Amino acid sequence: MSLVKRAVLLLSGERYLVLTITLCQTALVSRLLTPEEVGLSLLGVALVQVIDGMRDFGTTNYIIHDPAASHQSARTAFTVLLALSAVFAVALVAFAGLWARVYGQPLLEPYLRVLGLSFLLVPFSGPLMALMRRDFQFAALMWVNVGTCLTYAVVLVTLALLGFGAMSFAWAAVASAVATVALSLAGRPEPGIFRPCLQGWRTALAIGGCASVTTLLNRAYDLLPIFLIGRVGGPDLVGLYGRAQVVSQLPDKLILGSLASVILPMFAADRRDGRCLAPSYLASIANITAVLWPVSLLMALIAQPVVLVLLGSQWIASVPIVQVLALASMLTFPAMLTYPVLLASGGLRDTLTASLISLPPSAAVVACAASGGPLAVALSQFVTVPLQVGVALCFIRRRVPFTLADLAASVRISALVTVATALPPLAVIALSGHGFALTVPQGVLAGFGGAAAWLAAMLALDHPVAGHVRETLRPVLLLLRPRARAAVQAGDEGIR
């Protein structure tokens, strides 16, 4: 548990650094590029991300999950990953023109061909980063991710300023892939894993095959709105929906993203040590909801000032989409735990089965909503998310037995904290007289009021996360206490 806590702290620090860089980059680029240019880039990136789900083929998770993982396992993973990357890079370049014609956007062809270059670089960093995660080397991993993010942001903003338009995103992706390889080798200098090896490839493919299909299905579903809105409404509406997703997902990026890299190794360690997974699973649910629910609700309440500060006034039409997506994200609380807990409990194939059951009807709902535009697609999540969560929980409870009463008990305090968090911003909204159309100063007041209420409620109700908050604040308080005491003494002397 000490390793897990240290990993969470390191990854939280990384997450804040990455988020700060990303927010600055997003704020600048959103003012330099139009919604149509941003939407065009999203149409290209969406296709690449779907292909990327097939290219990875679960090889990095194979390194983490395999109890006998070694130098040889990493070499095998590299060999498989390199072969698949080469195949898909060629396919992406070959079919770039077809994809451009489907959407009537000629610029997509060179855009996709540039992105194809990054495919050939990923095999030289993926296995090294997986080894870092497996061995809890999150300090080294932190600098890899921060350096990659900073490289992407600097190149993207520079090219946008120089007038490269949507192509800025493509060249920034290539630059960041180069940075990832260099930083991975610096953090884990094991160039020996780049020697081809196929020993144990059947095991890698057994784990990777199922994982790859599951990842592909989920990634294609997640990106389906981009594809459909692009066909029905054009790149400008894609840009609005894509930027609304970025804003609404800030709670996940801010807090929960730092947990994702720790959860799989944590459950895998529990399994290797013969411990029951149910307590860890329910504790993780309690911790996730204590943050996700209050922050997502707060985001929905102050969406307009957040959009104005982060994106600028040309993106004001995305505010209703942000509000709906933020509220819908509150329902996704078990999502990041589904794959790790099923993999650790021996239910890898259950992840694929659950996806095959829940995703086709969900995709049909999204397809029907697409004709109504981005807002209708966002609203459809109130139908699709409960369906997917319900199916996933059914499979999880077969492998990790717990009752619905246990689940309700784990989120009880989180629900109370969420209600407390909403009270200050609701008061600001009521007093403003303009509903949710808050000004930036009003949004700041509502945001700080909600954050203070969240912290007070967490401490008063003694939520498990409150202990982590105390541990985080204790060094700061110890640092400030001598200065406060000195200031008081100086004030007393001045009065005398």
Per-residue pLDDT of 375-426, as tens digits, reads 999 999 999 999 999 999 999 888 888 888 999 998 999 999 999 999 999 9
Cβ-in-10-Å burial (0-12, 13-18, 19+) of 195 comes to: exposed
Predicted TM-score (pTM) above 0.85: no
Lowest-pLDDT range of 24-33, 64-73, 233-242, 305-314:
64-73
- pLDDT of the residue at 322: 96
Selection from 276, 257, 259 nearest residue 344 by Cα: 276
Selection from 368, 415, 411, 367 nearest residue 393 by Cα: 411
Residue 323 confidence (pLDDT) above 90: yes
Q: How far is CA 354 from CA 215, 358, 389, 399, 401, in A?
A: 12, 6, 10, 13, 17
- pLDDT of the residue at 141: 82
Which percentage of the chain shows pLDDT scores above 90?
39
Report the alpha-carbon angle 158-164-166, nearest 5: 105
Amino acid making up residue 207: I
Average pLDDT (185-210) is 71
- pLDDT of the residue at 402: 87
pLDDT in tens, 140-179: 888 888 999 999 999 999 999 999 999 999 999 999 999 9
Report the alpha-carbon angle 363-367-372, nearest 5: 140
Rounded Cα distance between 194 and 122, Å, is 12
Cα torsion angle, 423, 428, 433, 436, sign = negative
What mean pLDDT, rounded, does the chain reach?
82
Backbone angles phi, psi at 311, to 5 degrees: -110, -30
More confident residue, 403 or 278: 403
Work out the pLDDT band at 127, boundaries 50, 70, 90: confident
Selection from 69, 179, 89 nearest residue 130 by Cα: 69
- pLDDT of the residue at 46: 87
317 secondary structure, DSSP code? G
Rounded Cα distance between 410 and 280, Å, is 11
- pLDDT of the residue at 229: 93
